Amino acid sequence: MALLPIVEVPDPRLRQISAPVETVDDDIRALIRDMFETMYHAPGIGLAAIQVGVPKRVLVMDLQEPAEEGGEPVKEPRVFINPEIVTYSDDDVPYTEGCLSVPDQYAEVERPDRIRARWLDEHGKQHEEELDGLLAVCLQHEMDHLEGILFIDHLSRLKREMVLKKLAKMRKERGLRAA
């Protein structure tokens, strides 16, 4: 397993549309293992292959939600290959989102609170399931990456510019401190 570098805005690779996975093989499974290691190390709860520079329709997620209030996070890694959303609920919910490719920046995004999705797992087995809450939001966020869309694209132009200015300022401050 290996830690992979995370691609950050404004890298143009993040705007690429990812290609479908033709065969779920050992190379894809190795990519998935590396993506999980990278996501956990970051730390994050979801990662699309394009975020590590691989334009394939592969996502990994682990919400790491505690089994009980205040308890230790429980790992429940999930793999989504060639995911597609079959149906969306009519109700949108606001959720504060962040992204490993837009580090340390957060904004409220509205998305459908329930979806029905179809995907392959790391063994090539097809799944179809109704998802809701954070899992549905996270899957939609990660699937946006497959289409070259970032969560900041869902914001107004003004809010998007504010997030990007804060990110630039943060990078500049880190650069000055490192010198």
Would residue 142 show up in a list of annotated catalytic residues for this protein? yes
**Domain encompassing residue 127:** 12-178
The total domain count for the chain is 1
- Identity of the residue numbered 82: N
Q: In this structure, what token pair is assigned to residue 126?
A: 């097809």
Within a domain: 3: no
Give the integer Cα–Cα distance in Å for 166 and 43: 20
Within a domain: 7: no
- Active-site entry in 69, 76, 84, 142: 142
Within a domain: 115: yes
Within a domain: 67: yes
Give the pLDDT score at 81: 98
Give the pLDDT score at 52: 98
Q: In this structure, what token pair is assigned to residue 93?
A: 């919910």
Within a domain: 5: no
Tell me the pLDDT of the chain (179 aa) as tens digits: 799 999 999 999 999 999 999 999 999 999 999 999 999 999 999 999 999 999 999 999 999 877 778 788 889 999 999 999 999 999 999 999 999 999 999 999 999 999 999 999 999 999 999 999 999 999 999 999 999 999 999 999 999 999 999 999 999 988 865 54
Task: Write out the H or E segment, with its range, that includes residue 48.
Answer: strand 46-48
What CATH number has the domain bearing residue 75?
3.90.45.10
Within a domain: 151: yes
Give the pLDDT score at 177: 56
Question: Is there a contact between 116 and 130 (Cβ–Cβ < 8 Å)?
Answer: yes
Give the pLDDT score at 64: 87
Edge-to-edge strand list for the sheet holding 126-132: 46-48, 58-61, 78-88, 114-120, 126-132
Within a domain: 4: no
- Spell 133-144 as b/e; 16+ CB within 10 A means b: eebbbbbbbbbb
Give the pLDDT score at 150: 98
